[in-house]
């Protein structure tokens, strides 16, 4: 349960040179500004200007000025404790991401139906480069704990949604993942290139991706690809249940049906209603 995911990509983006604290005149102003935003993370949602200066490797005066601009705009909010947090303006802008809230809005009714039918964890993820990013999660209060916070990133080869996305990714993406060392999260994570290749072929053949103890030993997930207007795979939906769930083989068809419903709503030809 405790292996780390790949983490928030922002963690090391602010750092761009040998010495902390110095003014990177080599970095453009936009890069510095984005570096301030990247200083925030799930484990540090509230930061002082000093924290921000240190984490984004900017002089305090520069950090002050940029934090001021971001706060005026609403990208940051200053709390009563003097710390800064990500502001509502970012939520508003992020809601315009077609692969984020846009996709989520189309998908949510289907995910909710799946949740109501199963009362298990329901997830929706998209691929970003070599990672899966969760864009929605419905977690039952009594369902198994999972590491799928919205915005969290995971490598493609371990999770159900990741395997579904990887199996349908462009060939060069697949080869890039297969060529790199594959991180093992549990004794069951598939880290062998040939075994992973076989698994991906199986995902394409069956239309379902199964992660059985490959992320945490106690979790079993089954995922299905979601297709867009050109029948291209644009997302993957999954259900996560305890690994010892005696009904676990029964969840596949429900996930597949939900994924098909979302695909139809996205205009995927394969899922179009026929008379």
CA–CA dist 95, 118 (Å, integer): 28
Instruction: Return the SS3 of 214.
Output: coil
# residues contacting a second copy (CB under 8 A):
61
Among 50, 59, 149, 204, binds a second copy (CB under 8 A): 149
Among 106, 133, 208, 239, binds a second copy (CB under 8 A): 133
Pick between residue 22 and residue 94 the one whose CB is nearest to a second copy. 94
- What would the two tokens of residue 60 be? 């305090």
Among 11, 15, 16, 34, binds a second copy (CB under 8 A): 34
Pick between residue 59 and residue 98 the one whose CB is nearest to a second copy. 98
Report if residue 91 touches a second copy, rule: CB under 8 A.
yes
Report if residue 253 touches a second copy, rule: CB under 8 A.
no
Report if residue 153 touches a second copy, rule: CB under 8 A.
yes
Q: Where are the extended beta strands (E) located within 18-67? A: 46-47
Burial of 69 (0-12, 13-18, 19+ CB in 10 A): middle
Minimum CB distance to a second copy, residue 109 (Å): 5
Report if residue 231 touches a second copy, rule: CB under 8 A.
no
Percentage helix, strand, coil, to 5, in the chain? 40, 20, 40
Report if residue 145 touches a second copy, rule: CB under 8 A.
no
Report if residue 135 touches a second copy, rule: CB under 8 A.
yes
Q: Find the part of the chain contacting a second copy (CB under 8 A) among 18-26, 128-136, 195-203, 266-274.
A: 128-136
CA–CA dist 202, 128 (Å, integer): 22
Place of tokens 């644009």: 234
Taking the CA atoms of residue 27, residue 33, residue 36 and residue 40 in that order, the dihedral angle to the nearest 10 degrees is: -120
Place of tokens 């198994």: 144
Whether 240 contacts 221, CB under 8 Å:
yes
- The residues with which 241 forms a beta bridge, in sequence order, are 220
Pick between residue 129 and residue 201 the one whose CB is nearest to a second copy. 129
Report if residue 178 touches a second copy, rule: CB under 8 A.
no
Among 90, 130, 173, 266, binds a second copy (CB under 8 A): 90
Q: Find the part of the chain contacting a second copy (CB under 8 A) among 9-17, 157-165, 234-242, 245-253.
A: 9-17
Among 33, 215, 254, 258, binds a second copy (CB under 8 A): 33
Instruction: Return the SS3 of 70.
Output: helix
CA–CA dist 18, 251 (Å, integer): 51
Instruction: Please state the φ and ψ torsions of residue 73, each to the nearest 5 degrees.
Output: -80, -20
Report if residue 66 touches a second copy, rule: CB under 8 A.
yes
Minimum CB distance to a second copy, residue 70 (Å): 7
Instruction: Return the SS3 of 133.
Output: strand
Query: Would you tell me which residues interact with a second copy (CB under 8 A)?
Result: 8-10, 13, 28-31, 33-34, 37-38, 40-42, 45-46, 66, 69-70, 73-75, 77, 85-102, 105, 108-109, 112-113, 115-116, 126, 128, 133, 135, 138-141, 149-151, 153
């Amino acid at each position: 349960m405790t292996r780390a995911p790949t983490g928030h990509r922002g963690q090391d983006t602010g750092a761009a040179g040998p010495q902390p604290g110095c003014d990177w005149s080599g970095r453009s102003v936009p890069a510095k500004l984005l570096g301030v935003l990247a200083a925030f993370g799930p484990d540090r949602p509230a930061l002082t200007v000093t924290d921000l200066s240190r984490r984004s490797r900017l002089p305090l005066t520069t950090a002050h000025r940029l934090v001021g601009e971001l706060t005026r705009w609403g990208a940051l909010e200053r709390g009563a404790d003097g710390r800064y947090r990500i502001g509502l303006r970012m939520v508003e802008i992020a809601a315009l991401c077609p692969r984020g809230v846009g996709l989520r809005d189309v998908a949510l009714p289907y995910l909710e139906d799946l949740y109501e039918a199963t009362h298990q964890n329901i997830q929706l993820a998209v691929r970003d480069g070599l990672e899966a990013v969760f864009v929605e999660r419905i977690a039952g209060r009594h369902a198994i704990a999972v590491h799928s916070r919205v915005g969290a990133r995971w490598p493609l080869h371990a999770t159900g949604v990741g395997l579904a996305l990887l199996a349908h990714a462009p060939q060069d993406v697949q080869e890039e993942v297969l060529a790199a060392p594959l991180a093992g999260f549990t004794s069951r994570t598939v880290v062998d290139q040939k075994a992973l290749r076989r698994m991906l072929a199986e995902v394409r053949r069956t239309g379902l991706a199964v992660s059985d103890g490959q992320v945490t030993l106690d979790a079993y997930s089954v995922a299905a690809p979601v297709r867009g207007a050109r029948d291209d795979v644009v997302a993957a939906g999954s259900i996560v249940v305890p690994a010892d769930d005696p009904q676990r083989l029964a969840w596949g068809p429900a996930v597949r049906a939900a994924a098909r419903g979302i695909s139809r709503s996205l205009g995927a030809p394969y899922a179009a209603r026929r008379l």
